[in-house]
Each structure stands twice: as C-alpha cells, then as structure tokens.
Amino acid sequence: MKRLLIAFIALTAAPYAHSQSGYRIDFKIKNWKDTTVYLGSYYGESTVLRDTAKSKAGAFHFDGKTALPEGAYYLVLGKNKLFDFVVGKNKFFTIETTANPTDPLKIEDYVKTIVVKNDEDNKLFFDNLHFIGQQSIDAEPLIKVLRDSTLTEDQKKDARASFSKINDRVMAYQNQLIEKNPTSLTARLLKVTKQIEVPNPPKKPDGSIDSTFQFKYYRQHFFDNLDLADEAMIRLPRPFYQEKVKEYLDKLFVPAPDSIMKAISGIVEQAKKNPETYKYMIYNLMVLYQAPDIMGLDEVFVRLNDNYFASGEMNYWAVASIKKSMKDHADKIRTSMIGRTGANLIMQDQNLQPRSMYDIKNKYTILFIFDPDCGHCREETPKLVEFYNKSKAQYNFEVYAVSSDTSMLKMKNFIKEFKTPWITVNGPRTYMKEHYSKLYHSETTPTIYILDDKKKIVAKKLPVKQLDEFLSKREKFEKMKKSQPAKGS
C-alpha cells in the first residue's frame, strides 16, 4: 500500500484539464543571488514539486500552458521550504518581497515585506498573516503570565481577559474577511478552521429538553464550513479535508460496518460532484480502513473496494496496479471477517499426524498464528500459556496454534521451550488446498482469531492481554440475552 500511495501522489501531480488559459507567477526578491528555485504544492499530507525556475538577481517566474489547480503553494530554496501563498481563480500575478541579507531562510522576513500585485486573493492571504502576526506580538506577554505556575488564578485574571479580547479581535477580523470575500480561496481556507456553532436544544411539547438535539445538529451540519467538492481544500498546508472526514466517521457514528458505510455513502455523494475530490475521498477512505484500530472495521475496506474499484467506478483514474493491490488486500480480509464462518485448517502436528481445527468441540477456539523466530511471538506466547492454564476451564476454549515456518524442528523446539499445552501444527504442512494465510489474514505475527462453537469468527487480531476481557464481556452479554424475555411473550 505504501508503494501505491506514491503512485497515487504521482497521478495527482499529472496535469488535469482544469483550464487551458495557463498561468504565470512572477517573483522579485531583494537580496537574492542567482539560484535555482522550485514551486511546491500540497496534496493531502504530501507535498509535490511542480515547477522550476532560474532566479537572476531575485527575479524569476513560473509559467505553464495548463492552469494550476486552486490551492496553497510555496517556494523551495535548496531543500528548504520558504513561504506559502495561494493560487485562486486568478493565475497571473506578481509577488515582491525582501530576504534577510544574512539569513535567506528566515521566513518571517519574507512575509513581513511582501507586496502582492494583481491578485486580491493573495492580498487577503497576507493581510491576514500580518494581522495574526501583530496580534501574536500583543499576546506574547499575556501568554507568559498565563503559563506562570507561580501565579494564582486570580493573579492571571486580567491577562486572561486581555488574551480573550485578542482572540475575539482575530475571530471578528476573519469572520469579516469571510463574509466580504466568500468565494476567495483565503476565505474558504479560513472557514474550514471554524467550529460549528450548535444552538441550544428546543423544548418538547411537554416542556422537557431534547437531549439528542445538539448531537444530531452537529452531525448534520458538520461539513457546513467545508465543501467536500472543493478540490482546493485538498491542497492546503494542513490536510483539513482528510482530518475532517476521519473525525466525522470516527466520532459521530457507531463503529460498525453498516453504520460507517451509510455515513460514507452520504459524504461520497457530496465529493462525487468533482472528479478530483471524488478520487481523493475514496482513496483516503481505503487508506483509513485498510488496517483500522477498531476490530471488524476492515470489512469497510472490502465493501469500498467492491463498490468503487471492482465495480469500475474509479476507472477514470485508478491504474491497473492500484486496482490489483486494492483487490488483493480486500480478498485477504474477505475470508476472515467478523461474523463469517472460519475455514477449517488441517495440518501436521509434531508427531506428523493431521490435526483438524474443526475437531475442537470447545465453546471457543483460539487460533494462534505465530513464527518461532518472531520476537513479539516469543513475548506473547508465555502470556498465552499463563492465560490458558488459568482460564481454559472458565471459558471452555482450546488453542489451535499454527507455526508459519516450514521447519518442523523449530516448531518442536518452540513447543518444548515454552511448554505450550495446546494443539500446535505446522502451517506449510497442510492438507488444505489453500494456504492458511489466504483463509485467515495474518500478515504480521502473532495473529489471534477467536471462533465460537459454530466456528464463526467473533474476534480477530487481539493481543493476548485482551483475551480475558473480551471473553468475559462476551459471556456476560450472552447471559443477558438469555435472561431477556423472547419477543412476543
């Protein structure tokens, strides 16, 4: 997937048909010598070099026949990023500034002395930076007071009030900028940083307060300040687009595949209005759910692949290598998703006898896939032995351990060293048509799956320390279900 991310970024750097009017950005920088300078741009969390120019005594320009897409850009001198500027609807403008004569990498000197010609958007952009800079200077002594641990809260009272006034001035300035210049890139950039203002909940007819109103309002209006079809929002110094989508899905929905997919459907519909944001949205969702922290959400990756890549929906940009990688990863997950019946495994044990996982009749089967030489496996195995000896009877489980190494000797030595009391088999010495790794996704070792008495997968990729907690909660949940009266009774 990492190689594919590089391929994806390379695709984004290719010139798309934004406009055929071209672009030209002129720079005049005092105190610069003859040198080579680069034009850089942002794309999500990545950066891309888009153009090169030769500076003659500080004068240079970037130009091209295809217009630059809207977004934030920056100059690169040597290997050093200098200052940001924006490219909005206007692609022809001039920026003049002055470098520090002894330190040309001192960014604040460029920003302080910038003069923009023929572009209102960049005037707004740098006016905002200048205003913020002045407010920061005013706030410095107040911040020192607020951080002084020797002062009481009462002694900080005046500093806190003054700091609050500065913050209010900044908010008022930016709100006015957004209101007066709503279509400018600077306004859109500032707007995406604003918090959603949630009104007080209304009263119900009986006079009570609707306790769910504010949550529902916040979720419904979450993207009011971010147009998901605005591709300029994916080319900012900070990946707000990506962060907002992640926050929306992580914090505002039940972490279950059905719930997440329903939420995704809504935001994808908005992003779909623009082919560039559509592509960016889907790819980032694939990255987000390729190895999710929450157990079971890898199913979202499989569904995304089926809906958008396997269906041909992303064919307008996805090359064959990207589609293949998505499919391969989805297929690895597909056979071992939560709720699926796990495939049987039949392999040779240390006595060269076939041992079938389906022969285990306990309430739970813990599938433990390990490598005898794996350092983490050697850390986790003693913990599993301890848990086995202590809790096997309590939870009625058996362990079916699969050694990934071809060496039978290594497996035997591992069993002897750690005194493993469970069934251990050699993965490569299988009686099944398919390799175990195609039936149970296990790119890292150790990997643990828990199957119930019907061999349905109920948990996956848990560390040993969480086994007791998981099984305890599951047992309590099952008892609670049994104690509830049947529907209709």
Chain position carrying tokens 């992640």: 246
Domain boundaries, the chain: 2-118, 129-191, 222-334, 355-480
Question: Nearest-CA neighbor of 231 among 69, 88, 13?
Answer: 69
* Residue in this structure with the two tokens 């010609």, named with its chain if needed: 117
Supply the pLDDT for residue 483.
Answer: 77
Closest CA to 136 of 178, 167, 176: 167
- 428's enclosing H/E stretch is strand 423-430
- How far is residue 231's CA from residue 159's CA, in Å, rounded to a whole number? 41
DSSP code at position 32: -
SS3 assignment, position 377: helix
Provide the pLDDT for residue 19: 45
* Mean pLDDT (whole number) for 460-464: 95
**Residue 428: CB partners within 8 Å, gap ≥ 6?**
404, 405, 406
Domains 2-118 and 355-480 share a fold: no
What are 48's strand-pairing partners? Answer: 41
CA–CA dist 308, 311 (Å, integer): 6
User: ∠ at Cα 390 (384, 396), nearest 5°?
Assistant: 90
Confidence check: pLDDT of 489 > 80? no
Cα–Cα dist 455/475, whole Å: 16
Cα separation of the two ends of the chain:
52
Label residue 3 by pLDDT band (50, 70, 90).
Answer: very low
Let me know: does 61 contact 69? Beta carbons within 8 Å: no
Beta-strand relationship, 364-370 and 354-356: unpaired
Task: Check residue 11 and give its pLDDT.
Answer: 53
Yes or no: is domain 2-118 CATH 1.10.3470? Answer: no
Percent of the chain's residues with pLDDT above 70:
95
* 327: pLDDT strictly greater than 70: yes
| Pairing between β-strand 397-403 and β-strand 364-370 as defined by DSSP bridges | parallel
Tens digit of each residue's pLDDT (9 = 90 or more) over 208-250: 898 899 999 999 999 999 999 999 999 999 999 999 999 999 9
Cβ-contact 354, 346 below 8 angstroms: yes
3-state secondary structure of 127: helix
pLDDT at 169 over 50: yes
Residues 6 or more apart in contact with residue 331 via CB below 8 angstroms: none
**What architecture (CATH level 2) is domain 355-480?**
3-Layer(aba) Sandwich (3.40)
In percent, the amount of the chain with pLDDT more than 90 equals 90
Tell me the pLDDT of the chain averaged across its residues.
93
Q: What is the pLDDT of residues 84-140, one digit of tens each?
A: 999 999 999 999 999 999 999 999 999 999 999 999 999 999 999 999 999 999 999
